[in-house]
Amino acid sequence: MPRRGELSSKLSRWISLKTSLSNSMRRQRLPKPGVHMVTFRLFLITALFPSTVFAAGFFRPGVGAGPLSMGGTGIASADPTYAAWYNPARLGFAQKGFFVSVDGTALQERTQFRRSSVGLLKPPRDQDNPSFYENKILQNTEFSDEFLQAKNCFGQVRAANTPEEDWKPCLPGTRPIPYIALGYGSGKGWSLAFSAFGPHGMSRDWDKFGPQRYTVVYADVQMQFYQLAAAYRQKDWSVGLGMQNIRLTVDQTFTVSADVLGTEDPGYDAWADVNVADNFIPAATLGFWRALPFGLEVGGSLMLPLLAKPCAEGSSERCHVVAEGTVAVDFAEEAATLVTEVDGDRGVLTLNFPRLAGLGFTKRFGDRGFINLDFFYEAWAQDVGDVIFRPQELVIRTSLPGSEEIPFEDVVFPKKWSDSVGVRIGGEYAMKTDLGTTRLRAGFLYEQAANAPEAMDISALDWDKMGFSVGASHPVTPNIDVDIGYLLIPQTEISITNSSLQSVNIFDAERDPESPNVGQPTGQQLTTVGNGDYKLSHQRIMASIRARFGG
């Protein structure tokens, strides 16, 4: 920590610079001195997990020890206990009577980041004495050759920046994800089921003063799914409908800077802790199944968000997600000496969900087993658009002349979405033994990234990826089966040298009222924060018990 004399010297220099800046603002005839937009870079799980495990499946991740051990396939072959999530038409295959499935997944991931000093400054700063700014940044932020490791400790109300020895008991690096399904088959063609799944998502805790801090400090994002489904089946075809509600919660801490030199001085950091939730996000899934000649089967599913709510009070803009909650602001020691009051603590996060479509084929080989081939399409580019955080009359008041009030305006996070396509292959082989028929499973999946590499950051990792899975199922009794499975996304490393991610500085804004970009960042106080090396590995360990009774 700086000594008192050093702190006073820095504060005097800071106020002198800020006063000079304020005088410049007055010369530009700013209508209201000191009022300018703050642009937070809150990259909310926009690339959380595609399909089974990464970003595109943020909306609808894979479920179940059985399907996931076959690469996440199941559109044309899913057991009725998992049909609601892959294709509700498969619910029509429920035997007469009741069924129940209890399934658990242990989600583990390892996230690492090594920030690069390449491209720290962008025009016009890289043309205006860049060596001074770069040297100051390198003094203020440690660019180590070692990778930073995110801490993962799920199941806590709050883990951010808590010393590890003070953490409450938890499952280090593991998120438990339960799934339960209850259903009934009439034996006359129609079936009903209820299922619940979650929380699904990630939790990452980084160093509050680390080189990654202007991207994210802490993130815990959870989605919970609740679904009612019905199906009607005849011999060679089946149709189904699932109605679900999704609950989304976000707890995320990110850093902004009040360093007017734009040199990442940690003494002028400020942290925004966002806690928001949307408890009502309805969606529907339509499905069909059809038997074909030569032992072939085909299935299809389409998932659609149902309700577009007003994005803000009185707004004509509509959003699928309107997550309301609080935003708390905290300041580092030197920045805190400049702040007299923070007024307001409410905020809303808004975004849209994509349409998801799946088409699957199954080839059966009598009672020996089957092979699945599934294709997925997710309309991110067409449907999702920008993510927007909307503070509700949140204002910081300072003691600085010319910047007595700094309001938090709407924050737009433009994303470079592209539609995502995935392919999965999996199958099952029935091996007969003296103890019964053990079904061996294996699978492979490939997923395209939904977000551009230059927009990648450690709170939203997403790139083209491959995964492998294995599993088995064995009957304990004629009406009870036990499943186990394992899915692995091997560690992948990617280097980014053209990052579009920049730090957020509350004093960086176009102040000329005649400019069409008034209030927008100029880049004069911003630094590039997304260049570097990223590593991510991901695995799931699954187990389930499925039972049938009352037939």
Give kind and range of the element (H or E) at residue 5.
Answer: helix 4-27
Burial track 14-23 (b if 16+ CB lie within 10 A, e otherwise): bbeebeebbe
Dmax (CA) of the chain = 90
pLDDT at 545 over 80: yes
**Residues 63-73, mean pLDDT to the nearest whole number:** 94
- Structure tokens, 292: 């074909």
- pLDDT for 172 equals 55
- Asked which of 169-173, 177-181, 477-481 is least confident by mean pLDDT, the reply is 169-173
| Rg of the chain, C-alpha, whole Å | 26
Strand-pairing partners, residue 229, are 193, 242
Cis peptide, bond prior to residue 130, ω within 30 of zero:
no
The mean pLDDT of 407-430, rounded to a whole number, is: 82
CB 90 within 8 A of CB 243: no
Task: Return d(Cα 358, Cα 484) in angstroms, integer.
Answer: 25
Q: How confident is the model at residue 256 (pLDDT cuts 50, 70, 90)?
A: confident
Highest mean pLDDT: which range of 205-209, 310-314, 525-529: 525-529
pLDDT tens track for 480-510: 999 999 999 998 899 999 998 888 887 787 7
Residue 530: which of 419, 446, 412, 451 has the closest Cα? 451
- 215 pLDDT band (50/70/90 cuts)? confident
Query: Where are the domains positioned within the chain?
Result: 4-549
More confident residue, 335 or 20: 335
Tell me the per-residue pLDDT of 291-318, one tens digit each, with 9 for 90 and over: 999 999 999 999 999 999 998 888 888 9
Residue 87 has pLDDT above 90, yes or no: yes
Q: What is the pLDDT of residue 475?
A: 96
Question: Using one digit for the tens of pLDDT, what is the confidence trace for 342-353?
Answer: 888 898 989 888
Neighbours of 524 (CB within 10 A): 16
What would the pLDDT profile of 113-137 be if each residue is shown by its tens digit?
999 999 999 887 888 888 999 999 9
Q: Would you state the pLDDT for residue 152? A: 66
State mean pLDDT over 177-198. 95
Pick the CATH number of 4-549 from 3.20.20.140, 1.20.1740.10, 1.10.3720.10, 2.40.160.60: 2.40.160.60
Q: What is the structure's pLDDT at 58?
A: 40
Q: Minimal CA–CA distance to 146: which of 202, 203, 210?
A: 210
First-residue to last-residue Cα distance in the chain: 71
Cross-strand bridge partners of residue 485: 471, 542
The mean of the pLDDT values for the chain is 82
